[in-house]
């Protein structure tokens, strides 16, 4: 008998019929003799509907109250799923963030899980119940309701799996697993049977939206095996697990892209200690995550600094940068929102040379100019003009032989 | 500086504009120098929308999960109102049933409040905050979410007022106060300036739906003065308070009616000890509230038993009665759903004779047959054919001079 955590996303519980379908899936896992904990997201577009209500009230909704508001979405779906299970004869109950003390910090709207009361969960499991937990939500130490940010239910599920040392954390979604590239762009994209935490982490933060980045960090830290699979089709999906021998032999596992960033360049910045700090401190204090940062070699004591931020934070970031640029006597602040980041990810890159040059060659052959480059041990990212995104993904996917019918 | 509890019903917070309007009202009470606690119902038809979702899942939704589901309605409205207040510069915060420990029993769907953590509320008030409390909800001793039944937010408000010894509990609604009769039936119905708890209690349980019966019981027990008034118009409404000299002099305060009951008659029941108990125990165990019970004088050791139950419970009650009727060898079970109960209520009835006979005379003059009669110290109720309801209300309203332009 295994302990299985199953997480169902918004499209999987999008309406009453789909919730009943999920209930059948859960029942069958239970009938196979497993202990089952289910984590659910809000139904379909519910979170957006609630956010719209908040924005109709005021342009700048209070973040703390907004969390109280949007956490109702998961409360609704978890109670409905528990009802559906009970009507199928499954002993089930819903549990909310405050009931199982999913304790988080107080960063409303993007809180981090600090600890989970696993005793309560184990007690309920011991009673033979299937637990249906409202994802995405927790409480801070003052018992205020918090939410974990977009995709936060993934993190809820993985954190619960970690706290209870579950055998597997199944993430049910509307795709069949993790693919070598977006199948909408590369029709021959291949589903991966297995991928390492490290690769998944890069892919998630590079724009593959199947899993929330933080959930992968959590899974990696606590070695929780994740199975990403389809709610609507049977068959296995992709296992996210720790690196093994097989993975080493594959140079590139996937190609991802992200069109949600914008680029800001500050020109002719005095090249002296403390300048970067002056520039980036106000931005990080505004809770804006800077992705890539590039500084050119300085000439005449002046340098250019370029970095990318999420499109959603672009306007705010520009305002902050304009102020600092004046203070430090930079010449100009240039902005570009028509960019995309295309990346390749793979464990094998560590031990194979020539991967980067192959990327540059392939892109150059198509006349695609590379504006920024960022590399890590297992990924290479290039910022290019947005209009070339699909082309770049396709040629890279082909150049590294990802579309061929070979298994990992 | 007074402590004011304000309760806003579903129509008062029916949409975003109305919530903003409520926020202005609350701010003005605050600006007058008062401590203010607001209790809100769910927006408009939200509770019904959620109940429909539950019924789409299953014919018999689990009551415990249904409470988890429908309590989200008040969570949404309380967070939106708190946001609206903050955007007006009012230091406000929402509080849910579990956060202030509105502790109830475990009768899901119709829980009773046992106690309230007034310390938490006082601490927040001391911080200068306006508190926006989600009405209708609480938690049982195991931290399960409970709800208080239709109109339960009234009870939340009164209970909080009692716990904090508030100066006044204002119930904002879509009518201007308590009237001598339903103005839709009696165009000359008059708003009462004042009414006693006892009268209000009778009126509420007899069909005047402005206040939940239990909230009036609570107010009476803890001597909480209630002010029923309009959200949309200024001016005072009706004060519900303890009996005073003035009230004694008024014989009849109002006429009410209730079309939501059904009548069941068991004929030729053996008239011996234990029979009534056999008949009513299964009904009360099914949580069905029996209203009027009438037993005729027995002939030949056999008697007829007639009683009324809510229409909503009629089918279930019939099933139970059929079983018992066979067991006790009763001849027949007769049902009638086309009935209405028309009642007059007034403190002065205690000291005035002839009120009952006047009621019977007035109804007889219109050819209205009385099927059942029930009286208490301060009310007389008659069950009549449903089609005569409006006529009966009008003639009684006129006969007792309620429509004249005299003040209490």
Instruction: Report which of residues A75 and B203 the model is more confident about.
Output: A75
Q: What is the DSSP letter of A369?
A: P
Q: Looking at residues A46-55, what average pLDDT do you find?
A: 96
pLDDT reading at A408 higher than 60: no
B89 in contact with A, Cβ within 8 Å: no
Give B254→chain A minimum CA distance, Å: 40
> Is A76's CB within 8 Å of B72's CB?
yes
Give A37→chain B minimum CA distance, Å: 16
Side-chain half-sphere exposure of A245, counting CA atoms within 13 A? 0
> Is A98's CB within 8 Å of B94's CB?
no
Of B302, B308, B315, B305, the C-alpha closest to B279 is B305
Q: Looking at residues B339-344, what average pLDDT do you find?
A: 95
CB pairs under 8 A between A and B: 107
Which of A54, A75, A94 is nearest residue B80 as measured by Cβ atoms?
A54
Structure token pair of residue A396? 């890279």
CA terminus-to-terminus distance, chain B = 29
Query: In this structure, are residues A81 and A75 in contact, taking their beta carbons and an 8 Å threshold?
Result: no
pLDDT, tens only, B163-183: 999 999 999 998 899 999 998
Of A183, A235, A179, the C-alpha closest to A211 is A179
User: For an interface test with A, which of B14, B15, B58, B130 has the most A Cβ atoms less than 10 Å from its Cβ?
Assistant: B58
pLDDT reading at A281 higher than 70: yes
* ipTM entry: 0.83
Q: What is the DSSP letter of A146?
A: E
pLDDT, tens only, B354-403: 888 899 999 999 999 998 888 888 899 999 999 999 999 999 999 999 98
pLDDT, tens only, B8-52: 999 999 999 999 999 999 999 999 999 999 999 999 999 999 999
pLDDT, tens only, B226-264: 999 999 888 899 999 998 877 667 789 999 999 999 999
> According to the model, what pLDDT value does residue A336 have?
95
Chain B residues closer than 8 Å to A78 by CB: 68
> According to the model, what pLDDT value does residue B158 have?
96
Q: Looking at residues A315-341, what average pLDDT do you find?
A: 94
A63 in contact with B, Cβ within 8 Å: no
- What lies within 8 Å, CB to CB, of B294 at 6+ separation is B305, B306, B307, B372, B373, B374
Which of B65, B79, B96 is nearest residue A79 as measured by Cβ atoms?
B65
Whether this prediction's pTM lies above 0.90 is answered by no
Strand partners, B299: B302
> According to the model, what pLDDT value does residue A39 have?
98
pLDDT, tens only, A195-206: 999 999 988 877
Chain A residues closer than 8 Å to B20 by CB: 57
Give B318→chain A minimum CA distance, Å: 25
pLDDT, tens only, A206-262: 777 788 888 999 999 999 999 999 998 888 999 999 988 776 677 899 999 999 999
Chain B residues closer than 8 Å to A90 by CB: none
> Is B80's CB within 8 Å of A53's CB?
yes
> According to the model, what pLDDT value does residue B141 have?
95
> Is A57's CB within 8 Å of B96's CB?
no
pLDDT, tens only, A76-105: 999 999 999 999 999 999 999 999 999 999
B78 in contact with A, Cβ within 8 Å: yes
Between the alpha carbon of residue B220 and those of residues B162, B195, B240, the distances in Å are: 10, 12, 9
A343 in contact with B, Cβ within 8 Å: no
pLDDT reading at A407 higher than 60: no
Query: In this structure, are residues A317 and A288 in contact, taking their beta carbons and an 8 Å threshold?
Result: yes
Confidence at B273, pLDDT banded by 50, 70, 90: confident
> According to the model, what pLDDT value does residue A248 have?
64
Question: Given the structure tokens 């009943």, which residue do they identify?
Answer: A20
Chain B residues closer than 8 Å to A65 by CB: 79-80, 82-83, 86, 93-94
Q: Which positions 142-181 of A are in contact with B (Cβ < 8 Å)? A: 143, 145
> Is A80's CB within 8 Å of B94's CB?
no
The whole-angstrom separation of Cα B357 and Cα B369 is 14
Instruction: Report which of residues B286 and A91 the model is more confident about.
Output: A91
Domains and CATH numbers, chain A: 3-174 (3.40.1160.10), 245-408 (3.30.2130.10)
Q: Greatest CA span in chain B, whole angstroms?
A: 77
Question: Given the structure tokens 């577009």, which residue do they identify?
Answer: A45
pLDDT reading at B97 higher than 60: yes
> According to the model, what pLDDT value does residue B63 have?
95
A377 in contact with B, Cβ within 8 Å: no
Q: If you average pLDDT over every residue of chain B, what do you get? A: 92
> Is B96's CB within 8 Å of A50's CB?
no
pLDDT reading at B300 higher than 60: yes
> According to the model, what pLDDT value does residue B66 have?
97
> According to the model, what pLDDT value does residue B248 have?
64
Confidence at B296, pLDDT banded by 50, 70, 90: confident
Structure token pair of residue B324? 């018992």
3-class DSSP state of A148 = coil
Chain B residues closer than 8 Å to A101 by CB: none
The whole-angstrom separation of Cα A108 and Cα A29 is 35
User: pLDDT exceeding 90 applies to what percent of chain B?
Assistant: 75
Query: In this structure, are residues B233 and B176 in contact, taking their beta carbons and an 8 Å threshold?
Result: yes
> Is B72's CB within 8 Å of A69's CB?
no
pLDDT reading at A152 higher than 80: yes
> According to the model, what pLDDT value does residue A353 have?
77
Chain A residues closer than 8 Å to B97 by CB: none
A78 in contact with B, Cβ within 8 Å: yes
- What lies within 8 Å, CB to CB, of B98 at 6+ separation is A98, A99, B139, B143, B145
Give B279→chain A minimum CA distance, Å: 31
> According to the model, what pLDDT value does residue A238 have?
95
């Amino acid at each position: 008998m295994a302990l299985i955590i199953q997480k169902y996303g918004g499209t999987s519980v999008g309406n009453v019929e789909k919730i009943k379908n999920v209930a059948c899936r859960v029942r069958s896992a239970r009938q196979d003799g497993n202990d089952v904990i289910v984590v659910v997201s809000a139904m379909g577009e519910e979170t957006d509907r609630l956010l719209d209500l908040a924005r109709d009230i005021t342009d700048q909704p209070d973040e703390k109250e907004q969390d109280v508001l949007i956490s109702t979405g998961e409360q609704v779906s978890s109670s409905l799923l528990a009802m559906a299970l009970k009507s199928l004869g499954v002993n089930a109950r819903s549990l909310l963030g405050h009931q199982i003390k999913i304790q988080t910090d107080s960063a409303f709207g993007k809180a981090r899980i600090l600890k989970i009361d696993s005793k309560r969960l184990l007690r309920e499991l011991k009673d033979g119940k299937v637990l249906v937990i409202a994802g995405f939500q927790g409480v801070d130490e003052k018992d205020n309701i918090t939410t974990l940010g977009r995709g936060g239910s993934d993190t809820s599920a993985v954190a619960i799996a970690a706290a209870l040392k579950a055998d597997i954390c199944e993430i049910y979604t509307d795709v069949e697993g993790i693919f070598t590239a977006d199948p909408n762009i590369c029709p021959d994209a291949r589903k991966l049977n297995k991928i390492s935490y490290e690769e998944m982490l890069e892919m998630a933060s590079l724009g593959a939206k199947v899993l929330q980045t933080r959930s992968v960090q959590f899974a990696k830290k606590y070695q929780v095996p994740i199975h990403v699979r389809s709610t609507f089709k049977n068959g296995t999906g992709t296992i996210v697990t720790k690196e093994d021998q097989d993975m080493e032999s594959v140079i590139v596992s996937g190609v991802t892209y992200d069109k949600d960033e914008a680029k800001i360049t500050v020109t002719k910045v005095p090249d002296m200690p403390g300048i970067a700090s002056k520039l980036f401190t106000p931005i990080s204090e505004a809770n804006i995550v800077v992705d890539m940062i590039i500084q050119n070699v300085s000439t005449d004591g002046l340098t250019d600094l370029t970095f990318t931020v999420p499109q959603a934070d672009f306007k705010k970031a520009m305002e902050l940068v304009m102020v600092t640029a004046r203070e430090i006597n930079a010449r100009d602040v240039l902005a570009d929102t028509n960019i995309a980041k295309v990346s390749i990810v793979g464990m094998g890159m560590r031990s194979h040379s020539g991967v980067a040059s192959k990327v540059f060659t392939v892109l150059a052959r198509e006349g695609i100019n590379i504006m920024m480059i960022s590399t890590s041990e297992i990924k290479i990212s290039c910022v290019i003009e947005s209009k070339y995104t699909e082309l770049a993904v396709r040629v890279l996917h082909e150049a590294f032989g990802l579309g061929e019918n070979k298994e990992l």
